[in-house]
Amino acid sequence: MGRTQSAGNGGIRRGTLTGQAANHTQVTFTWGHSALETEFVTTPGGVLGMTRLARPGDPAVNPAGTGTPLPLVEISALGHGSGWSGQRFLDGALGSRLRYRGHRAVRDGDWHRLTVELHDVDTGLTAEVRYSSPDGVSVLRGEVLLRNEGEGPLVVQSVSSLLIGALPSPDALEVHRARNDWLAECRWYAEPLRDTVARLNHEAHEHDSRAALSLTGRGSWPSDGHLPMGGFTERTEEGTEPGGRGLLWQIESAAGWRWDTGDRAGSSYLALNGPTDAEHHWRERLGPGDEFTTVPAALALGDGFEGALAQLTSYRRRIRRPHRDHTALPVIFNDYMNTLMGDPTTEKLLPLIDAAAEAGAEYFCIDSGWYDDDAKGWWDSVGAWLPSGRRFPGGGIRAVLDHIRSRGMVPGLWLEPEVVGVRSPLATTLPDGAFFQRDGVRITEQGRHQLDLRHPAARAHLDATLQRIVGEWGVGYLKLDYNISVAPGTQAPGDLSPGGGLLGHARAYLDWLSAALDRYPDLVVENCASGGMRMDGASLAVAQLQSTSDQQDPLHYPPIAASAPTAVPPEQGAVWAYPQPEFGPDEISFTLGGALLGRIHLSGHLDHMSPDQLALVQEAITTYKTIRSDLPGALPFWPLGLPEWSDAWCALGLRAGDTSYLSVWRRSGSPVHTLPVPHLTGHEIHTEILHPSAPTGTVEWRPKSTELTVELPPHTPSCLLIRLTTTASGGEGAQGLADR
């Protein structure tokens, strides 16, 4: 859809420009599709702003908002500072000088794309603001290409990827964030935006507040501390408004990122950025003719938090590279967690491989330690990725890999490709330029150097490693780990800033990984960084699986497993299930049940289990295989809300057409709990406990209140997987929610 008063001119529809003068033809146009509407208007000064971002049929977001629209992009550069000092990346000198020069809208398969060209006459800087949205999905993706069309250099210090104004007043918004710490990932919390941004008398001061609520990710672990995400839900004085609109966003950066929000003339704004100079030591020098493109950022709209997340989940499935793993969902056994713990040998592995095959695993991954032949330990000697002769006598590691294949499973290996230990021979044979460095000194972190994948020697080393492991040994699964974090980055010769070097490496690493998957299309890659420290949209768009945690305590995993679908689609979220021979039946069922609505990462000493214990594992794996075909299209919901870390009960639901699945965990407290499931209002429901196969609990559907009552044994812990099947028509399924 669209209308414009600007004249056409080739691919870009040009407006009338007279330098920086205010005398010009006003431009108004709309763009969108069946699930998304935007409207753009130029101000009297010629600055183009977005005045509407909504779903069709939504009312004006903030009809009471005042002031001029925000420009489409904010930029700070040396010699061109802000127009109003403060914590916000807003109201800068350059953004207010960028004038509309034209736009074009195209349909690209299932995607709608809009490019708006802005230009500053003084510097010659041109910004191409690139919006895209998948057809039928209420998500706006933004990125900005900067091009220097001037005669002199320009040093950019920050540039927004997506800048949105005219949002509801801070009085009406609850803001959501997710703490994401090692062993304690995906912990969402919310507060009124007004708690941070105080209400001021705008007329008295004639200025907006300088305050902002901001969040930043630093270093080479982009999700260390917080997920690179955030959200708004509409609220009243009493709390979140039922059925109110929700917005969720993610910044797709495998390096630094920042977002901030606050009050601007009675409306809220949202600025989504990649790395910046102030926060990440990032700068980019644009000589005449040079270009730079920001990291993408995406904003989803829906009914409340769950509705917006449904849209974001659908979007995530659209932007990732296609791979058969996303629909096959094979069961993976990994020998590490609470099992071999980095000490694999032929003697230990062979019986574990046999037991994993009997349990129903389809992939078997040998985790860390397979290369360890160093008497001083492998942590600071890794890098060559050659198999240990001591650990694998006789036929070597290839005999173990052959045994995995003989048991009908695909062999896998753990690899930490970006690091080289200080005692590794490669630390001296690879050139200095192949490693991160600052001021000419190679960076060392925890006894390791960091490879810079922009350097051809670093890339050639990893290409040769994959050719050996995948091409020659036939390994079909790689767990790519990353256990150091470097901040602010690297400053190789030619780098203006360490933050710029870090972003360059992060992009080069994902390019290398994409090229590897092109060469080996059957290879399955798990993205891991000490668990979930690299749980970002850029990495998830390339890798097939995402590690959710290194959590070793099964009692602490439920809130992570329940919340993981906020960060990663369920068919990509790897959840550990590590039953042990010393566990009783309830404990075995508990640790297995937590992984059944994600990707099972099976572990544990299965080879030491009794036949009855192993049968419990087999039954859980069989149950998973009967439902996994529903997961790639399912959308998450939370009957008890997103869990707190210490909640006695946790619940995760997935909607798949006329079927809903519920994982329910009880860690303490009352043995009876009621779970509201409002999307099943008006339906007749058939309930079935799928796990454990011999249920120790009961469930009862209450149609009048649309609630499920769950009763579990008085002892803890307990876990159930429940299937709710619609037996009468009249409601919407998962696709209905995705289409809102």
Nearest to 362, CA basis, from 413, 414, 404 = 404
Tokens 């993976």 belong to residue? 332
Distance of alpha carbon 626 from alpha carbon 630, whole angstroms: 9
Q: For residue range 301-338, what is the model confidence (pLDDT) as tens digits?
A: 999 999 999 999 999 999 999 999 999 999 999 999 99
Evaluate whether residue 462 is within a structural domain.
yes
For the record, the structure tokens of 68 come out as 């001029």
The confidence score (pLDDT) of residue 7 equals: 33
Distance in angstroms (rounded) separating the CA atoms of residues 553 and 495 = 43
Three-state SS string over 417-462 comes to: CCEEECCCCHHHHCCHHHECEECCEECCECCEEEECCCCHHHHHHH
CATH code for the domain of 76: 2.70.98.60
Q: Do the domain assignments include residue 2?
A: no
Q: What pLDDT is attached to residue 276?
A: 97
Torsions phi, psi for 641 (to 5 deg): 80, 170
Give the range among 63-72, 590-599, 686-695 with minimum mean pLDDT: 63-72
Q: Give the tens place of pLDDT for each residue, 679-690.
A: 999 999 999 999
Helix (H) or strand (E) holding 291: strand 291-293
From residue 455, how far is each of 15, 275, 538, 685 by CA, in Å? 43, 22, 21, 59
Same domain, yes or no, for 423 and 448? Answer: yes
- Helical H runs in 553-646? 558-563, 585-593, 611-627
Q: Over range 177-195, report the average pLDDT.
A: 97
The verdict on 650 and 612 lying in the same domain is: no
CB-CB contact of 269 with 165 (8 Å): yes
DSSP string, 22-65: S-S---EEEEEETTEEEEEEE-TTS-EEEEEEE-TTPPPS-TT-
Are residue 459 and residue 481 in the same domain, yes or no?
yes
Based on the domain organization, do 437 and 510 belong to the same domain?
A: yes
CA-CA-CA-CA torsion sign (316, 538, 534, 478): positive
Q: Are 226 and 179 in contact (CB under 8 A)?
A: yes
Mean pLDDT of 180-197: 97
Q: Residue 57, by phi and psi: left (phi above 0), alpha (psi -120 to 50) or beta? A: left
Residues 434 and 485 in one domain: yes
Residue 278's domain comprises 7-319
Q: Which residue has the tokens 């049940």?
A: 593
Q: And the tokens for 467?
A: 């050719």
State pLDDT tens for residues 268-281: 999 999 999 999 99
Most confidently predicted of 56-65, 82-91, 608-617: 608-617
Domains contained in the chain, number: 3
Q: Do 577 and 470 reside in the same domain of the chain?
A: yes
User: In Å, what is the CA distance from 353 to each residue of 22, 157, 359?
Assistant: 73, 53, 10
Report in angstroms the alpha-carbon separations of 601 from 233, 337, 598, 623: 34, 9, 9, 15
pLDDT (average), residues 161-175: 95
Residue whose C-alpha is closest to residue 248's, from 163, 183, 313: 313
593, 615, 633: which is the final residue of a domain?
Answer: 633
Which position has the token pair 């700068």?
Answer: 283
State the maximum Cα–Cα separation within the chain, in Å, rounded to a whole number.
84
Q: How many CA atoms lie within 13 A of 459 on its CB side?
A: 16
604 and 682 part of one domain: no
* Same domain for 408 and 288: no
Model pTM score: 0.95
Q: Which pLDDT value is given to residue 265? A: 84
Q: Looking at the structure, do residues 240 and 174 belong to the same domain, yes or no? A: yes
> Are 616 and 648 in a shared domain?
no
For residues 204-224, give the mean pLDDT: 89
Q: Which CATH number goes with the domain that contains 640?
A: 2.60.220
Last residue of a domain, which of 319, 341, 360?
A: 319
Q: Are residues 489 and 530 in the same domain?
A: yes
Per-residue pLDDT band for 169 (boundaries 50, 70, 90) equals very high
Residue 1 located in a structural domain: no
**Residue 549 CA, distance from chain mean position:** 14
Q: Which residue, 578, 611, 633, sits at the end of a domain? A: 633
Residues 364 and 352: their CA atoms lie apart, in Å, by 10
Q: Where are the beta strands (DSSP E) in 362-435?
A: 363-366, 410-415, 419-421
* Same domain assignment for residues 331 and 242: no
What is the pLDDT at residue 62?
55
Lowest mean pLDDT among 370-374, 441-445, 637-641: 370-374
CATH number of the domain to which 358 belongs: 3.20.20.70
Q: What is the mean pLDDT of residues 367-371?
A: 98
